[in-house]
Amino acid sequence: MKIVLIGYGKMGKTIEKIAQSRGHEIVGRIDVGDNFVQFDKPADVAIEFTQPEAAVSNLKTCFTKGIPVVCGTTGWLQYKSEIEEHCRNKNGAFLYSSNFSLGVNLFFKLNEFLSKLMARQSQYEVTIDETHHTQKKDAPSGTAITLAEGVIKHLKSKTEWVLGATKDPSKLVINSFREDPTPGTHVVKYKSDVDDIEIKHTAHSREGFALGAVLVAEWLAGKKGIYTMDDFLQL
């Protein structure tokens, strides 16, 4: 499989290593300052891990070039409906996830299951903590937002998430911390006067995220349409 890497930072280099170990060819490495529009080599799929300000343009370029794209960049989702419309108009293929770790996606499902159980337990207050390395620019993390959406889906007492403390009980608080070296830790906490319930996912390295992205790219190549990790994992 021929892969173009859009974003060649630490994550891009880790993806490259894993993709090559699985027999794939890297036909392009698009880094900061490179003109992706001029890229003209045949590619079966693109894997996009850049910055929020670059993602929208990169994704549109992939659709225009007819390259299926796996996107792990977070912080740009206010444009998601626009991107999906562009994908459909170009008959493209697109899969976005806030996190490609297989363990995290199982954690997402565990989070929703727990929130269903807690829906009638009004004595508990729920919060989410996320901790990442200091190079991560967006806060809260896309993974934390996905977790928050999973909670809000089932807890009628919460209507939206907010970053940091609030006195509004209808808002779900996400606390963001930046510490080195931390690939990513997420904790969903339910606290009451008598006990606490927590579920936690801790990443030990970037390899889990990178492997998941490569596996998804293998699955997406040759397809058309808009997909999610649920489609890939068949959960």
Same domain for 131 and 162, yes or no, is yes
Whether residue 17 is found in the same domain as residue 85: yes
Question: Which CATH number fits the domain that encloses residue 64?
Answer: 3.40.50.720
Q: Give the DSSP letter of residue 156.
A: T
Give the pLDDT of residue 192: 98
79 and 132 in one domain?
A: no
Do 226 and 177 share a structural domain? no
How many CB atoms sit inside 10 A of residue 41's CB? 8
Per-residue model confidence (pLDDT) at position 136: 84
Going by C-beta distance under 8 Å and a sequence separation of 6 or more, which residues neighbour residue 41? 2, 4, 27, 28
Same domain as 94, residue 46:
yes
pLDDT tens digit string along 44-76?
A: 999 999 999 999 999 999 999 999 999 999 889
**C-alpha span between 70 and 213 (Å, rounded):** 7
**pLDDT one-digit tens code per residue, 12-41:** 999 999 999 999 999 999 998 899 999 999
- Residue 190 tokens read as 């339910």
Q: Quick one: 123 and 198 in the same domain?
A: yes
pLDDT of residue 39: 94
Do 138 and 177 lie in one domain? The reply is yes
Q: Among this protein's residues, is 136 annotated catalytic?
A: yes
Catalytic residue among 24, 60, 65, 132: 132
Count CB atoms within 10 A of the CB of residue 110: 14
Residue 91: predicted pLDDT: 98
- Split into its structural domains, the chain has a count of 2
Are 133 and 166 members of one domain?
Answer: yes
The verdict on 91 and 9 lying in the same domain is yes
Q: What range does the domain containing 48 cover? A: 2-100+207-233
152 shares its domain with 181: yes
* Known catalytic residue at 223: no
- Reference 5, options 32, 21, 22, 23; nearest CA is 32
User: Read out DSSP for 196-229?
Assistant: EEEEEEE--SSHHHHHHHHHHHHHHTT--EEE-H
pLDDT of 83: 97
Q: What is the pTM of this model?
A: 0.84
Catalytic residue among 13, 90, 136, 191: 136
Euclidean distance between the first and final Cα of the chain, in Å? 26
User: What stretches in the chain show pLDDT beneath 50?
Assistant: none
Residues 36 and 122 in one domain: no
Q: The domain that contains 196 carries what CATH number? A: 3.30.360.10
183 with 125, same domain: the answer is: yes
Quote the pLDDT of residue 145.
Answer: 94
